[in-house]
Amino acid sequence: MQYTTLGRTGLRVSVAGLGTGGFSRMGLKSGKTEEESARLILDAVDLGINFIDTAPPYGTEGVVGKALKSIPRDKVVVATKSTVRRDGEWWTPERVVASLDNSLRLMGTDYVDVFNLHAVEAQMYDYALNTLAPALVEQQRKGKIRHIGLTENPIVDFTNAALKRALHDPVWEVYMVGFHMMHQGARANVFPVTRQKGIGTLIMFAVRSIFADPPRVAREMKELAAKGHVEKWLGETDDPLGFLVHAGGAANMIDAAYRFVRHEPGVDVVLFGTGDAAHLRTNVASLLKPPLPESDRTKLAALFGHLEGIGLDGHQGRSR
Ligand SMILES: NC(=O)c1ccc[n+]([C@@H]2O[C@H](COP(=O)([O-])OP(=O)(O)OC[C@H]3O[C@@H](n4cnc5c(N)ncnc54)[C@H](OP(=O)(O)O)[C@@H]3O)[C@@H](O)[C@H]2O)c1
């Protein structure tokens, strides 16, 4: 494993981070028992992963708790989250603190290393900063939270609007950012300032719902080419990313997707979610490989750097 420092938190973290949410939820979604899912977390730790991300809506905090029983607590960096608003209801500071306490109980620990406000959108930002952040700072003083962070909601926020608003407020030490081969906006919107200010970055959506689905990549390219948003040839092939796979290049599209994100300047931890022990191993192997050849990186930036929101779950995205 390779390790890096998570911005000014000073935490030493593995460059591969285990996301226990996403579509896989450590396999719980596909019928794994909590014990089997916890075993997968321990496999990840055996591979050197020390960053584990969870959140109450994922239903995996209990699984993380089971795994933590076999790991010295200070050997892993654990992140969880709280909702800010759901179904039109704003969560009060008391409710957020109760959520934190419940997370600690489920995970069987008395602190979280990174506590994130979850899926914050630009219009939620003032409330997050002015009403919730002071309560989190209070919990930090009590030792229940080490560092405070913010995750964006790329599915509705294609332009990192919430994170851009937060860049100059020092309470946030960690960001979770959506970034991938066809959603590269954070390169200009986020990473220059996070690097300058020492905000740690956790990357989500490297593969998510598009790069594990080659027919979808081809379908979306055809639609984008028809609208003139990408070069015409990309809509005329069933393998638009095939140019990345060659001797000295990527082994396949997923290998390309994780390596692309891993070596972007400003990226600290690449989260991936899986319920599959074989995917766990190949993803870690990809993240430990060298960058994609410079010519392929340049081509990805030239072909897709202007797109935003492509492949973020059901969305078809758009061109800037
Ligand atoms: N707003 C937020 O705060 C937010 C939003 C989304 C995600 N997150 C966090 O970010 C983490 C990562 O996001 P993500 O789960 O969307 O991760 P991801 O790594 O971008 O995508 C994971 C998806 O790709 C599949 N996959 C992974 N490796 C594969 C492989 N080698 N071959 C084929 N398919 C593969 C997985 O299915 P298999 O189970 O089959 O491997 C899963 O469906 C989440 O777990 C969560 O912790 C946070």
Q: What is the pLDDT of residues 215-245, one digit of tens each?
A: 999 999 999 999 999 999 999 999 999 999 9
Instruction: For ligand 1, atom 12, name the residue with the nearest CA.
Output: 272
Low-confidence ranges of the chain (pLDDT < 50): none
CA distance 310 to 151: 19
State the distance from the centre of ligand 1 to the C-alpha of 281, rounded, in angstroms.
Answer: 14
Output the DSSP codes for 8-39. GG--EEESEEEES-TTTGGGGGGT--HHHHHH
The distance of Cα 236 from the centroid of its chain, to the nearest Å, equals 31
The half-sphere exposure of 3 on its side-chain side, counting CA atoms within 13 A, is 13
The amino acid that residue 92 corresponds to is T
pLDDT at 32: 95
- Distance between Cα 116 and ligand 1 center (Å): 18
Residue in 272, 276, 283 to alter for ligand 1 test, most ligand atoms within 8 A of Cβ: 272
148-182 burial, b for 16+ CB within 10 Å, e for fewer? bbbbbbbbebbbbbbbbbbbeeebbbbbbbbbbbb
pLDDT at 215: 95
Q: Please identify, by atom number, the ligand 1 atom nearest to the C-alpha of residue 286.
A: 31
SS3 164: helix
Percent of the chain with pLDDT over 70: 99
Q: What are the percentages of helix, strand and coil residues in the chain, rounded to 5?
A: 45, 20, 35
